[in-house]
Amino acid sequence: MSLISALIFWITFSYIPHRNRRNKLRPVLELDVFQVYNNLFSLFDLIMSHRENSPSNYQNTIRSGFLIQTDIKLGLQNKCLNESYLFDSNINQHLMLIGEKIFECSNNIDQLVNKVLNLSQYATADEIILLEKIRQEVRKYDFSEKAIQKSAVTVINAQKLYPLVPVLYYRKNNFYDLYQLYIELQNIIFEKYSYFERNIYLFKIQFLYYSKQYSKCQTYINKHKKDFEKDLTFYKGYYSLCEYQLGNKKEFYTLIKKCYKNRPYNGSLVSSRGTLKYFIKDEKVIEILAQYHSQDEINTLKTTIEQENKIHEQFIMTNKSLLEYFITRDSRLTAL
């Protein structure tokens, strides 16, 4: 009787209150972890960007888990901390100042990890360990306003000394290690979390497609499409792309026709370039689009995609040239 009484007491005054509190606070914890994930994505998008205030052309690669160390090394060739690093007139016009934005993302991550750890009783051991690893990586370099504002110039005996290489090349391993942790975190969020919202739905579709899990992508789209009917064109576009990749080209063309006969995005084909850019030379696709869109709308789509491709190609060429230039300054650097 004593054991039964103790069990009833524990269930009533310990287990049930803890379970109820966990059910209320666990979604808060998962939301904060998702914000860590978003800040990490912003950080990688920043270091792979071709110009200020523009998204990078590597977003799909970042989400897929296929960003490699060579990519990161390339992306860093035109990135430096602050204006004091613009001391070489030969290359200044190509460099981006990203120190403040790096610190902003890193500081956000640090604060979010603190919030999660305040709810650590509702976190798993794997989550706590992973978040602590992420925090240690973002703190490893340039983690303070003083650090990102530090001058590149060192004065010794009234002589000004400058670094051989002004860019953030030294962080390539750090960012790559952080990216591996980002992939781990993404897998946890997509596979284990009950917290669910529109962005998670859209991001996971992109992850599944660009990681070449086409059948899983279609299954996932079908599972939740009724929850996000406003994003009909988005997920139908990815569903049709999966059909194409799976070799079901007849179904692909049928879906493209169904989607674009309604002139989504008020007829703006440019808004669908994420889907259509792969088929700009596909005569069948262009023929379908021409049934419901003007030639001017199709030409605008083609011009926009061509311009973005040229910008991406120019980014790669410029950053490779920058690295070659830096190698002449510091022979310890290695080519791509």
Q: Per-residue confidence of the chain (336 residues) as pLDDT tens digits?
A: 666 666 564 455 454 555 656 667 899 999 999 999 999 999 999 999 999 989 999 999 999 999 999 999 999 999 999 999 999 999 999 999 999 999 999 999 999 999 999 999 999 999 999 999 999 999 999 888 889 999 999 988 888 999 999 999 999 999 999 999 999 999 999 999 999 999 999 999 999 999 999 999 999 999 999 999 899 999 999 999 999 999 999 999 999 999 999 999 999 999 999 999 999 999 999 999 999 999 999 999 999 999 999 999 999 999 999 999 999 999 888 887
The string over 309-329, giving b where at least 16 C-beta atoms fall within 10 Å of a residue's C-beta and e elsewhere, is: eeeeeebeebbeebbeebeee
Any domain includes 184: yes
Q: Is residue 83 part of a domain?
A: yes
- Alpha-carbon distance of 49 to 108, in angstroms, equals 20
**pTM assigned to the model:** 0.92
User: Which of 104, 120, 102 minimizes the C-alpha distance to 32?
Assistant: 120
- For the record, the structure tokens of 73 come out as 């090394």
Which residues, including other chains, have CB under 8 Å from residue 335's CB and lie 6 or more apart? 323, 324, 327
Residue 149 lies in a domain: yes
Provide the domain limits for residue 38.
25-195
- Structural domain includes residue 162: yes
Q: How many domains does the chain have?
A: 1
Domain-embedded: residue 91: yes
The pairing of strands 96-97 and 79-80 is parallel
CA angle 328, 329, 330 (to 5 degrees): 95
Residue 58 inside a domain? The answer is yes
Contact 315, 50 (CB under 8 A): yes
Coil vs helix vs strand at 154 = strand
Residue 137 included in any domain: yes
Helix (H, G, I), strand (E, B) or coil at 142: coil
Structural domain includes residue 104: yes
* Gyration radius (Cα) of the chain, Å: 25
